[in-house]
């Protein structure tokens, strides 16, 4: 029996080999999946929290990601309910990103809906995209999905999450602690101050908890030429990182094109 699709999140990582995710929130086209894969990304960060993407859009992107070998991960809206998480996983996601996780109980709830028994309470269905839409023995689906096909990524976005970082990281079934940089800075009263000592200390707190409990440490929300991002990659154990979103990349490309055309106008 063919196994579940591989999950790039679980590949061995070091400072020179970080799982790089492309953000998708405005282009519900399978073409963007192929573009991201050819550009060198390892995963898709499909965003339902800050977009109008439908479950159908997300499932199509996930299936395209599976076929292209770029792992589909989906961020669901905060407190969206178990039903939406179930649909996202049944639609092909290899992992779910849960925003605003502040406590161990929040983390446990995320694991519970993401995993089949005995790890959680996810409901069983047949012919999943993760298994090429082919019927597999139930126990194979349970075992392989729990181990490799339902990563739990919890976002650390508040001062309370920092206080509880160690207990969140100790939660069985949690795979990644992902710092949501913008929201965390806002909550700490240092909005946009990614270069501040306070924010770097927050990154160190989460990183240390990940090391203590052998979880992956990730960073989202800092892009391009940030000295803090360079510092984190050099000094911390960053294993997962969100790149820019499709909207930002398209906007930048359009702007560069328009500027070059303006230069031609002046000739």
Catalytic machinery residues: 50
Beta-strand ranges (E) seen in 31-99 are 43-47, 71-75, 95-98
Other C-beta atoms closer than 10 Å to the C-beta of 189 total: 9
Nearest-angstrom CA–CA distance, 46 and 108: 22
Residues whose CB falls within 8 Å of the CB of residue 129, separated by 6 or more in sequence, listed in order: 59, 62, 63, 66, 91, 92
Residues whose CB falls within 8 Å of the CB of residue 69, separated by 6 or more in sequence, listed in order: 6, 8, 37
**What token pair was written down for 72?**
């589909």
> Would you call the peptide bond into 202 cis, given omega within 30 degrees of 0 as the criterion?
no
Let me know: does 91 contact 127? Beta carbons within 8 Å.
no
């Amino acid at each position: 029996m063919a196994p579940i699709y591989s999950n790039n999140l679980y590949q061995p990582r070091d400072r020179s080999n970080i799982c790089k995710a492309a953000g998708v929130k405005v282009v519900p086209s399978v073409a963007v999946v192929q573009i991201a894969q050819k550009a060198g990304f390892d995963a898709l960060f499909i965003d339902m929290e800050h977009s109008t993407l439908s479950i159908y859009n997300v499932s199509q992107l996930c299936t395209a990601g599976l076929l292209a070998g770029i792992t589909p991960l989906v961020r669901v809206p905060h407190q969206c309910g178990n039903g939406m998480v179930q649909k996202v996983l049944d639609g092909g996601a290899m992992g779910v990103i849960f925003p605003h996780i502040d406590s161990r109980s929040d983390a446990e709830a995320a694991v519970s809906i993401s995993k089949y028994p005995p790890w959680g309470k996810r409901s069983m269905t047949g012919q999943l995209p993760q298994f090429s839409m082919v019927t597999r023995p139930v126990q194979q689906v349970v075992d392989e999905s729990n181990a490799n096909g339902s990563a739990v990524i919890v976002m650390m976005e508040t001062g309370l999450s920092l206080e509880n970082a160690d207990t969140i990281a100790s939660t069985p079934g949690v795979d990644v602690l992902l710092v949501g940089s913008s929201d965390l800075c806002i909550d700490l009263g240092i909005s946009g101050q990614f270069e501040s000592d306070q924010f770097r200390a927050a990154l160190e707190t989460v990183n240390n908890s990940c090391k203590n409990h052998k979880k992956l440490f990730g960073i989202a929300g800092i892009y391009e030429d940030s000295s803090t991002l360079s510092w984190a990659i050099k000094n911390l154990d960053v294993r997962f990182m969100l790149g820019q979103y499709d909207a930002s990349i398209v906007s930048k490309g359009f702007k560069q094109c328009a500027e070059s055309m303006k230069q031609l106008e002046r000739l």
